[in-house]
Structure 1
């Protein structure tokens, strides 16, 4: 019991020698929360108070929902000797001072943030990351350029840091980068269901001198090289195919998201049902009355129907 009393006495002595000044950044546990402020234990002769307006720049911040008793928070001293007798602190001032090093690391680590869009501004939208106002350009909000940015207010998007400039307090995000990664992952998953040798059906969506691209559905396309279109010699795919035409093809190769197709592979195994016929001019027919060829070869052909 005596030891405990001695320790309490030593703590009081240490607190009496501790001096806080404006600009100091501290870590302290939250010991009280009200509608207008949070109270922290500074291990000082008096408690610290964080007014609601000093908690965060984020307008969606809720002192009751976003803070909890026992949370360790970083705060900056903005008034060491207030009229109330408490030390007035600011979480957002401390955050402004310390967070940029974290954001730089987040940029390097390609950290993904869930960002709630709070407002639409010219050419983009605004959200908050770690209490810092961040801008997402309309061109980086989705896979395609977003004209109606107002429709995104209130939505939450996944985004990564595109630009972090502590000296200018500038933070720019990209949701498009994440959307592209997700779309590619989903596409690769769909391609993974295909196998070499599969017969697929699609629509010709693009024609080039070297072949045609066939849309197979679900945002998947394959290339049929000109040499795989037909057994006949052609100078251009347009000689035998047209845009929008539906065709069947066999998968020859799959490399990543590249699919090689063959239309002619499906025709090579089909039986040839057409008879080849050649028209021979009458004058060259050995049985023709108009033929006057008396050569031995012509005589051999007499009586033979060609």
Structure 2
């Protein structure tokens, strides 16, 4: 009787020392042996566990013996407590999948950035895998810019963030766009902090409008008004720049709150009005081109960036209703400089005075001696040229 009790006690002790396992458990074990088709694992249970090759993450051309060795510790999933032959049926694949989903859940909660490689292109996006779990990147989340051809991403490694996670539906959605947006925000903030009036910066022409060109100076667009594209007169920005041009511009003014930045392509140091009084003097007769006709007069370009006004009264000796009665745009004309004001950037011109011939002053001759006045007294040596 005592032997029977002691035997029962011993069996109870053995039983209590063994793990209690159930279907669906994920447990750790130690590899006992590896063969071509299965792995035997000690899981601390009354019987050993068996992992068939089909339940191990292995490629068809690979051998189990090359991947697992005796004494290796391995995590497994319990498929069946009794496989019908007294062994516990295990799956390394399933255990790894559960661990992967658990890891993905953590990544989703912490919004951690991860790197993935695009494996395939499908309708509406691309496919990748994270630790064996299939994930989808919609086309709209591949970039902050429009993506014309999804195939250009195939095989590329991208840094992404998980934007949707649903384990029960096996759904994982990733985005590269959200990362680029955050990076763009940082770049913009750094740009605004670095802006200074008069600072020279590099940029790319992104858009042309009739009033000016928009230039991207690092994630933020600034406007170069037509008047700031060149020292000469500009009707349309396409006369000076094209979309895609890399340019260097000067910061004129900026307002972070309104997101407005005013730029200049022309260099303020090269202002042709600098020292203008030294280039053009009152009384000089120079040649220019009519560039604009107004009701009150005509603007004549003397050189690039320098224009003067010919008032309607200074166009000709006749009384005309409007400048276009005598002038056309692009006419080349000679003008006399009446006044130069470099401070206010104004030059007054006259066409009629530039055309006038010198007059002979006859006031010095006394009318009482008119009868005695000879041609030689009036014209002097000029008559000699006729003989």
The TM-score with structure 2 as length reference comes to 0.51
Is 1:149 aligned to residue 151 of structure 2?
yes
Number of residues paired by the alignment?
270
CA contact (8 A) 1:163 1:172 kept: yes
Instruction: Identify the residue that residue 104 of structure 2 maps to in structure 1.
Output: 103
Is 1:251 aligned to residue 251 of structure 2?
yes
Listed one character per residue, the Cα deviations across residues 94-141 of structure 1 (whole Å, up to 9, x for unaligned) are 455565454333223222233234444333333322332222233434
Instruction: Identify the residue that residue 238 of structure 2 maps to in structure 1.
Output: 242
| C-alpha distance in 2 between matches for 1:27 and 1:84 | 21
- Secondary structure in 1 matching 2:238: coil
Taking a change above 3 Å as real, the CA distance of residues 110 and 60 of structure 1, as seen in their structure-2 partners, is farther
Structure of higher RCO (CA pairs closer than 8 Å, 6+ residues apart): 1
Taking a change above 3 Å as real, the CA distance of residues 262 and 156 of structure 1, as seen in their structure-2 partners, is closer
Is 1:21 aligned to residue 22 of structure 2?
yes
CA contact (8 A) 1:141 1:176 kept: yes
Instruction: Identify the residue that residue 262 of structure 1 maps to in structure 2.
Output: 264
Taking a change above 3 Å as real, the CA distance of residues 96 and 199 of structure 1, as seen in their structure-2 partners, is closer
| C-alpha distance in 1 between matches for 2:20 and 2:182 | 52
| C-alpha distance in 2 between matches for 1:60 and 1:157 | 29
| C-alpha distance in 2 between matches for 1:184 and 1:59 | 47
Instruction: Identify the residue that residue 278 of structure 1 maps to in structure 2.
Output: 310
Aligned residue runs from structure 1 range 165-244, under 5 A = 165-178=166-179, 196=196, 197-200=198-201, 204-208=205-209, 212-215=213-216, 222-224=221-223, 226=225, 229=228, 239=235, 241-242=237-238
Instruction: Identify the residue that residue 122 of structure 2 maps to in structure 1.
Output: 121
State the Cα distance separating 1:12 from its structure 2 match: 7.3
Structure 2 gaps of 5+ residues are 1-9, 281-307, 320-349, 357-387
Listed one character per residue, the Cα deviations across residues 258-285 of structure 1 (whole Å, up to 9, x for unaligned) are 8652346616855154754635253799
